[in-house]
Chains A and B, each alone.
Chain A
């Protein structure tokens, strides 16, 4: 006869207010096998844990049932406590009477009854538990950072500083990301390039960092500590090891009319180009869509002028395979397409631009060398209207429901800088709310409004329409004055919502990392584990997890690095013993289990079996790699013969729980 202990937690009033905890303890105490049953205000507290430990020792308990919060919260706490008292940690079962009972019910009597039933189910299960021992696996001491913007750069630098090798995989020809395109940064107004490019150079010079630019991750297999990634190194038609970045080829290239993506198409580059002056690596790339030599074999000028022979028209994609212990997603964001908001006439007028385009128009390295000029006629704009929340805080049909978080501040920055450089310019900002939580942020916004005389108008712009004289008619409502306004603007700037990079969804599938409905990566816990994905060994850095400004991105990137360093510092990882196994005598090798396994943990072996008639028969049977299996249980459901079973969650245990509930 096994001896069980039952411990009912009040969780302050979280449980006790709705569930009669004393009645639960009493009722469960009457179950066969239960030798001790008690309640306590906070079972997770040290004294609560001591209560459990003492009971285990005093009554020589074989199993423990804790009626408390979700096992996601404190299962580990209680398992550790049990282990300290000498009980196998897998002999602990949690009955979730908080999230699945007290929080969702109102009627005390019914909730108490349900809590008792849930407790009974846990007792039925723990009676069938067997002691389990977790296996160990080694850790590959190398990290992969996917994305080379400020988030990826900071994470990589911190990991490298701790002494671990890091690979940065960046899909563009250079690292730097969006921050490289910005002019100044709020609230201190230091120049983005001045603070970013030293970090880019640090990456290039750090011997622990390898930059794999113009590359994309194609496939990821394995598990925490033991990932294998296939990385496609896209052909740039320039030998990275030979190119010195002198730029001679980019001057001689005869194809001059290629829209320059770094300046958002507002000026042109050549078919062979270096994205921008401070690019890292400073290596040219030939654009095969425009290069005459690659398109029709006529030209070859760049090859002739290159003094080091770096041009290679025959270069092809290569695929690199590398092992990693941890993977960081730092895929960043894109501004949404604003063409769909027809009322703002973005597609109709060159003088309706996005905020990122405005950044380029005010940047010294931009298409106008930093002088703010209207794209349509190159004249200085005298009235500028900024429209905030374009696609943010919107209905799901028309845009993003979330706040993009950075737009209020960068619009204040744009407005302030415009007024400072061009005091003869009238600047209007239309807003829903001005949101400025952050150190020195509200002071910054107030300076824009009060000292710099930016006209902040609470209200929505209904329509922007080009007029005959080349100006833009901005029709808007002022919600405070309750007036309809028409403003004759020379330039309209749209603060477009930001959304996760389009590459993120594919990556999430590859990493089996979860995402929310907006395609932001989900963190393991919104407050307590904000830089980890729920999938072990996958970490999150920067805007791929949610909208963030630069200070916040950098903090999160460093936090993420700390978590990666913590993982890579370990020599061995303790696995989860609750994994699948196949009963080889029952398995008929049908392959159903392998086809449903999301982790590729199941293989098939030909094994010799001694048959009852003493003959030997070779049969094909499933075999689970316990290091890869995550214990999801998909195979146990798919198996037609019932050969697949999960340690800690066996079919018989689950049936026992169901029976106890239905009794």
Chain B
């Protein structure tokens, strides 16, 4: 299995661990990640602007480059990149005007009409590898560990476009945790917002949000939390005093597959 791999900016500096463990675990599981050449930033938060085309071009270029690799689907591990890329690709299917304008911008580059696809690494593990198979590949099961999966908001919503999991009652990360031999912890804030970019403009609110998330996980007895989003991890670790560790899901996966030094 070979896929186009889109790391995203954060994975090249702050979230290097996410990038490294994603590549290592994928390689161990027989998935080849081919990094998209000359990829640019997905556009991050700017893409939420409704009528904006220019900020989405970087995503389109990534998607266009990705379609030549493997079955044409682009794999990401960052929740934000996943959200932006997938929403951008969806726009081609529902908005002919967007398609037209984007391709006008891209004159001179190959045309793109949404024929590629976007898939999150968790989806790959669930749908391509399969959690049953993953369970068999685990060499150091995390038996006895109580892990709280933190979804945040970007991974699940808008559910009609991302179609990743039930936005209110998701299960994919819990199933993932079970596959690694640990016990998932259900807690009320698992798909609530951590405060996101508010940490830049209104740090107090962001702190309150993150604290509430971690408190809720601690109350249900979690040993540590996992997430797929670098921004969530930042907020949950830097904006609260709650001692529960927060890790990337790929780090935990690397541990269970025997890659980590733990």
Contact = CB atoms under 8 A, between A and B. Distances in A.
Nearest to A473: B188
B188 A343 contact: no
Nearest to B166: A342
Interface in B162-193: 166, 168-169, 186-189, 192
Interface in A454-492: 463, 465-468, 473, 475
Nearest to B218: A468
B218 to A, nearest CB: 9
A343 B169 contact: yes
A467 B219 contact: yes
A463 B168 CA distance: 8
A341 B167 CA distance: 10
B88 to A, nearest CB: 23
B220 A467 contact: yes
Contact of A342 (B169, B187, B220): B169
Interface string A165-185: 000000000000000000000
A465 B188 contact: yes
B213 to A, nearest CB: 12
Contacts of A348: 169, 186
B130 interface: no
B169 A468 contact: no
A466 B186 contact: yes
Interface residue range, chain B: 10 to 19
Nearest to B219: A468
B169 A467 contact: no
Nearest to A397: B160
Contacts of A463: 168, 188, 192
A341 B168 contact: yes
Contact of B220 (A341, A345, A347, A468): A468
A343 B221 CA distance: 21
A342 B166 CA distance: 8
A21 B179 CA distance: 79
Interface SS of chain B: helix, strand, loop or mixed?
A: loop
B188 A475 contact: yes
Contacts of B168: 341-343, 463
Interface string A318-360: 0000000000000000000000011101011000000000000
Interface residue range, chain A: 10 to 19
A653 B193 CA distance: 68
A473 B192 CA distance: 14
Nearest to B167: A342
Contacts of A467: 188, 219-220
Given A342-B168, A343-B169, A468 B188 contact: no
A90 to B, nearest CB: 53
Contacts of B186: 348, 465-466
Interface in A341-392: 341-343, 345, 347-348
Interface string A433-468: 000000000000000000000000000000101111
A465 B192 CA distance: 12
Interface string B208-231: 000000001001110000000000
A342 B169 CA distance: 5
B184 to A, nearest CB: 13
Nearest to A344: B168
Nearest to A466: B186
B86 to A, nearest CB: 19
Contacts of B216: 465, 473
A17 to B, nearest CB: 40
A475 B189 CA distance: 10
Given A473-B188, A475-B188, A468 B166 contact: no
Interface in A472-517: 473, 475
A594 to B, nearest CB: 46
29 contacts: A341-B168, A342-B166, A342-B168, A342-B169, A343-B168, A343-B169, A345-B169, A347-B169, A348-B169, A348-B186, A463-B168, A463-B188, A463-B192, A465-B186, A465-B187, A465-B188, A465-B189, A465-B216, A466-B186, A466-B188, A467-B188, A467-B219, A467-B220, A468-B219, A468-B220, A468-B221, A473-B188, A473-B216, A475-B188
Given A467-B219, A468-B220, 14 more contacts: A342-B166, A342-B169, A343-B169, A463-B188, A465-B186, A465-B187, A465-B188, A465-B189, A467-B188, A467-B220, A468-B219, A468-B221, A473-B188, A475-B188
Interface of B: 166, 168-169, 186-189, 192, 216, 219-221
Interface of A: 341-343, 345, 347-348, 463, 465-468, 473, 475
